[in-house]
Amino acid sequence: MMMEIASMLQAAAADPAVAEAANKLAQSGAINGSFTLGVAGAGAGLGIGLTGFAAAQAVGRNPGAFGNILTIAIIGMALAEAIAIYAFILALGGR
């Protein structure tokens, strides 16, 4: 799949109209906020998923510690989600 994407990008780069449109878009700064939000959203999603996965494994190994594990997992998920909120604020600013 990565090879297909790379070949599509090479084909698009060969077309001068596509290259000019991409250059105008990059210089306008319109894509910066969306890119910031996309990367931070992906990172937050991975962080929340890994926290939930680890919490589920921990409860499976020690069901008696469910309350403590849940508390730590909720704090970890909140911290991971805070990064996405910061990125949303930056994206609204156009950075």
Q: Are residues 88 and 48 in the same domain?
A: yes
Q: Does residue 60 have a pLDDT over 70? A: yes
Quote the pTM value. Answer: 0.58
- Residue 68: what pLDDT? 92
Q: Are residues 38 and 64 in the same domain?
A: yes
Range of the domain at 21: 1-29
Query: pLDDT-based confidence at 1, cuts 50/70/90?
Result: very low
- CATH code: domain of residue 66: 1.20.20.10
Q: Are residues 2 and 39 in the same domain?
A: no
Task: Look at the chain and report how many structural domains it folds into.
Answer: 2
Q: Are residues 50 and 73 in the same domain?
A: yes
The values of phi and psi at residue 15, to 5°, are -85, 120
Average pLDDT over residues 76-91: 84
Kindly provide the b/e burial profile for residues 54-84, where b requires at least 16 CB atoms within 10 angstroms of the residue's own CB: ebeebeeeeeeeeeebeeebeebbeebeeeb
- Residue 38: what pLDDT? 80
Compute CA distances 58 → 5, 8, 64, 82, whole Å.
39, 44, 10, 24
Lowest mean pLDDT among 17-26, 31-40, 55-64: 17-26
Q: Are residues 88 and 66 in the same domain?
A: yes
Q: Are residues 42 and 74 in the same domain?
A: yes
- Residue 33: what pLDDT? 62
